[in-house]
């Protein structure tokens, strides 16, 4: 390996790490029972202007999305960006504690746009993106507002 390549490799690794599309997970022990924790998660998602897409108490999860892109961005990119939060609640039989886990991710829905409209092929679908800072902060806020004191997981400042 030459000198330039050796200097470029660490920089490339750092750049690729910052472009991760992997969801980020946060969790902690809720002071309330399973049903109360689930209802709190749903209420917090609604308060943060997320639209509930799926979920139910019996399955112990709720999935919601909130659009984060503006009209101008959508027209030029052909994609609407959405933060996705999936909250799951479960009891740990070993400890008897109720846990809440919130997974933050982000997607780009490709189906509109000025530039995209110039192309003959219609591009539709959903691309997984790395979670936004606001999505990660919302995940932590949901946990905090539902009474979780010790949140574990990745930092929202990443």
How confident is the model over 41-55, as pLDDT tens digits?
Answer: 999 999 999 999 999
| pTM of the predicted model as reported, rounded to 2 decimal places | 0.75
Split at pLDDT 50, 70, 90, the class of 131 is: very high
Report whether pLDDT(9) > 90.
no
Q: What is the mean pLDDT of residues 26-34?
A: 93
Write the CB contacts of 44 (distance below 8 Å, at least 6 apart in sequence): 141, 142, 145, 146
Which residues on neighbouring strands pair with residue 107, listed in sequence order? Answer: 82, 128
Burial (CB count <10 Å: 0-12, 13-18, 19+), residue 143 = buried
| Every domain of the chain and the residues it spans | 21-147
DSSP 131: P
Split at pLDDT 50, 70, 90, the class of 149 is: confident
Domain 21-147 has CATH 3.30.310.80: yes
How confident is the model over 55-75, as pLDDT tens digits?
Answer: 999 999 999 999 987 777 666
Widest CA span in the chain: 60
How confident is the model over 75-130, as pLDDT tens digits?
Answer: 676 778 889 999 999 999 999 999 999 999 998 887 654 444 444 444 456 788 88
What is the reported pLDDT for 120?
Answer: 43
Higher pLDDT, 20 or 18: 20
């Amino acid at each position: 390996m030459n000198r330039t390549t050796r200097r470029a490799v660490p920089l490339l690794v750092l750049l690729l790490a910052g472009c991760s599309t992997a969801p980020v997970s946060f969790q902690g022990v809720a002071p309330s029972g399973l049903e109360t924790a689930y209802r709190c998660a749903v209420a917090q998602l609604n308060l943060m202007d997320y639209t509930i897409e799926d979920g139910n108490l019996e399955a112990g999860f709720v999935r919601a999305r909130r659009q984060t892109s503006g009209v101008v961005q959508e027209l030029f990119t052909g994609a609407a960006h959405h933060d996705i939060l999936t909250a799951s609640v479960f009891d740990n039989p070993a400890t008897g504690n109720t846990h809440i886990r919130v997974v933050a991710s982000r997607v780009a829905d490709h189906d509109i746009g000025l530039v995209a409209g110039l192309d003959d092929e219609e591009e539709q679908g959903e691309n997984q993106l790395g979670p936004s800072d606001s999505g990660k902060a919302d995940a932590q806020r949901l946990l905090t507002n539902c009474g979780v004191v010790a949140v574990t997981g990745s930092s929202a400042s990443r």
